[in-house]
Amino acid sequence: MTGRGSGGGEGAAQVALRPGHPAAAAARARIHRAAQAAALPGLPGHPGLDAMAGTILHLHVAPPWQGCGIGGRLLAEAEAASPGGLGRHAFRRNLAARRFDERQGFRIAECREASAKEKGEPDIRYVLSPQG
C-alpha cells in the first residue's frame, strides 16, 4: 500500500517514534548527515533543526531504514500537528525525496532556480492539502 502515512514494510512498525529531546540532538544530527549524504552527495550540510508551523524543514530517515514506512509515519505525525496542510522543499536532484513527496500526495507549488537558494541548488516547493 502506498499513500499518505502508509507503511512500506513490517520494519516500520518495530521502530518507536518519539519527540526529539536535547539529549538526542547528536543522534538526530548523525541521521540527518547520513540521509543527506546518501541522497545528495557533495551538498554542504547545515543544522536544519529549526521548526516552522506548517512547514517540514527536514524529514530524514537513516539510509538503512529507508523504504520501511518510517517516513510515512513521520509525515503522519506532521500532518496531525498541522491540520491546515503542510509545505516542504526538496532539491530537484533528490529524486528519492521527490518520489516520496509525490507518493504521499504533495503537489508542486513552485520551482526555484539555484540562485534563489543559499546552497546553490535548484529546488521544488511542495504543498500537501489538508485531508478531508
In a domain, 94, yes or no: yes
In a domain, 2, yes or no: no
In this structure, what C-alpha cell is assigned to residue 122?
535548484
Count of domains observed in the chain: 1
Whether the model clears a pTM of 0.85, i.e. scores above it, the answer is no
Whole-Å CA distances, 127 to 84, 96, 98: 11, 17, 12
In a domain, 64, yes or no: yes
**How far is Cα 123 from Cα 132, in angstroms, rounded to an integer?**
28
In a domain, 68, yes or no: yes
Residue 29 sits in a domain whose CATH number is 3.40.630.30
Check residue 40 and give its pLDDT: 66
- Indicate the residue type of 12: A
Check residue 73 and give its pLDDT: 85
In a domain, 14, yes or no: yes
Domain span at residue 42 reads 10-128
pLDDT higher than threshold 60 for residue 6: no
In a domain, 32, yes or no: yes
What does the mean pLDDT of the chain come to? 76
In a domain, 5, yes or no: no
Encode pLDDT of 91-110 as tens digits.
Answer: 999 999 999 999 999 999 99
Q: Which residue has the higher pLDDT, 87 or 18?
A: 87
Q: Phi, psi (5° rounding) for residue 126? A: -105, 150
